[in-house]
């Protein structure tokens, strides 16, 4: 089966499993996932499952990408912070939905690979840096939306502080390392008021503080 046919089947699967936002589905359909997976897994590029990438990380299951992106409620004028670039796939999807994506990755090797993919695919509204995701990107704050793609044991206060107080939304997995009791949380911020809601269970790699000395 060709990538195109597999992609059509995947989009139908996502719709059936709760990704109903047509903008999100269109962004996923227009993002070539085969460009973001390791060569050994090319035949599984459009399987609805997470796949391993380098540095012990994963490219998320398309369903989780779809549900988290939908929960983020991204508008075309929004400025979005993504914590955990990984392969760059989630940033590429977000880039089709908003004005600009700022994406952070603690592993420099992963970030360099993602930056090459953005360049190859002519994705020009993504700005990336290597850094500690717990600390966010204060120089570019505030952000209309923040998406975290690794599980924190607690919501990082620096990220909350960098969220716009005019209806800012952050979506992130919270729970124990190893995937136990993790769930997606959505936080809405209005002025100094916060609303938090639990959305659905997940299993993510942990959000680690600091930056590795190499790689």
- Catalytic residue numbers, as ranges: 60
How would DSSP label each residue in 46-79? TSSS-EE-STT-EEPPHHHHHHHHHHHT--TT-E
Report yes or no: 117 and 95 within 8 Å, Cβ to Cβ: no
Q: Which residues of 132-163 are buried (b: 16+ CB within 10 A; e: fewer)?
A: bbbbbbeeebbbbbbbbbbbbeeebeebeebb
What is the three-class DSSP state of 156? Answer: coil
- What is the residue whose two structure tokens read 């089966």? 1
- Which run of H or of E encompasses 42? none
């Amino acid at each position: 089966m060709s990538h195109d046919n597999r992609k059509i089947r995947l989009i139908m699967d996502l719709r059936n499993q709760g990704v109903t936002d047509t903008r999100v589905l269109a962004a996923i359909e227009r993002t070539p996932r085969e460009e973001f997976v390791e060569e050994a897994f090319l035949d599984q590029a459009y399987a609805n499952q997470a796949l391993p990438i380098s540095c012990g990380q994963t490219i998320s299951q398309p369903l989780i990408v779809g549900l988290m992106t939908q929960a983020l409620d991204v508008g075309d004028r929004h400025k979005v912070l993504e914590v955990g670039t990984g392969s760059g796939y989630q940033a590429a999807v977000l880039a089709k939905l908003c004005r600009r994506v700022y994406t952070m990755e603690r592993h420099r090797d992963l970030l360099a690979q993602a930056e090459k993919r953005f360049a190859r695919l002519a994705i020009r509204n993504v700005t990336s840096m290597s850094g500690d995701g717990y600390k966010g990107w204060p120089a570019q704050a505030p952000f209309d939306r923040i998406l975290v793609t690794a599980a924190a044991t607690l919501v990082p206060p620096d990220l909350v502080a960098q969220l716009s107080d005019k209806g800012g939304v952050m979506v992130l997995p919270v729970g124990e390392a190893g995937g136990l009791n993790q769930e997606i949380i959505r936080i809405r911020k209005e002025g100094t008021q916060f609303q938090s809601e639990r959305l659905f269970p997940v299993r993510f790699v942990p959000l680690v503080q600091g930056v590795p000395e190499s790689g």
